[in-house]
Homo-oligomer: A and B are copies of this chain.
Amino acid sequence: MLKVIILGGGNVAFHLTNKLLQTGNIQVVQIYNRSLESINCFSSKTKITNNINNLLDADIYIISISDDFIESISENIPFKNKLVVHTSGSVSIKEISNRNRKGVFYPLQTFSKERKVDFSNIPLCIEAENNEDLNTLKKLAIEVNNNCFEVNSNQRKNLHIAAVFVNNFVNHLYHIGHSLCEENNVSFDVLKPLILETASKINTLKPNEAQTGPARRNDKNTIEKHVTLLPENLQEIYTLLTKSIQDTYGKKL
């Protein structure tokens, strides 16, 4: 039985703890957070503490807090030569204190507390400094969902940027679509099937095979009409993304 301690009380920590508590071969020994308030919900299921010096013994310490504090909290773990991992997409494995063995256990998904997260297919990007620790992280991953990928720090950094494009920026484009609907008194429901179909196409087509629209067709009339109709801030986004699509497929305006 792998003994695990979670450090953190944010979204990732919350959902990961929930998942680990359901598995058969992982024992969540303790949860640490600076404030007890956000981890109180787990107090009936495991030990909780807000004093890092009270950390118990475990096989893996999982730091799941804001990127900026990973280094300092790893310094304060009152043990040596333990496996300490973080769950961040953008922080290098090297930022973990040298006093312990280092690793990464990065679940690549978007988490919000109010939305139930289905861990069954979340890719777990793991990294460690030696094979034994990598195997320990694989064991942890198998208990969570058996969908793990070995990803080194440089790959993970780029993957995190890719995630900004396909999640943060994509969601912002949804927001722009939503605003255009609202301004014209059209229900956003009209766009929902399109959004869902666009996403599910990635399961059968490469994105560049699925590309359609005026930029892909180099349909200058429609492009011009659209730009004229848009407010200035959206014109800039429309023009830049249109140009990027045209460059991708070798068609210039």
A→B interface (CB under 8 Å): 67-68, 90, 108-112, 114-115, 121-123, 125, 149, 151, 154-155, 157-178, 180-181, 183-208, 210-216, 219, 221-222, 225-226, 229-230, 233, 236-238, 240-241, 244-245, 247-248
Query: What is the total number of copies of this protein in its complex?
Result: 2
Min distance, Cβ A229 to any Cβ of chain B, angstroms: 6
Q: For residue A163, which residues in chain B have a CB less than 8 angstroms away from its CB?
A: 177, 191, 194
Q: What are 27 of the A-B contact pairs (CB < 8 Å)?
A: A67-B219, A90-B226, A110-B197, A110-B198, A111-B212, A112-B205, A112-B212, A123-B193, A157-B225, A159-B180, A159-B181, A161-B229, A161-B230, A164-B213, A166-B174, A166-B177, A168-B214, A169-B237, A170-B198, A171-B210, A171-B212, A172-B215, A172-B244, A175-B207, A176-B244, A199-B199, A233-B247
Q: For residue A208, which residues in chain B have a CB less than 8 angstroms away from its CB?
A: 175, 178
Q: Closest residue of chain B to A151, judged by CB?
A: B186
Contact A173 B165 (CB under 8 A): yes
Contact B175 A159 (CB under 8 A): no
Contact B167 A170 (CB under 8 A): no
Given the contacts A177-B166, A184-B155, A194-B163, A205 and B108 also touching, CB distance less than 8 Å: no
Contact B149 A226 (CB under 8 A): no
Q: For the complex, what is the distance from the CA of A200 to the CA of B197, rounded to whole Å?
A: 10
Contact B186 A159 (CB under 8 A): yes
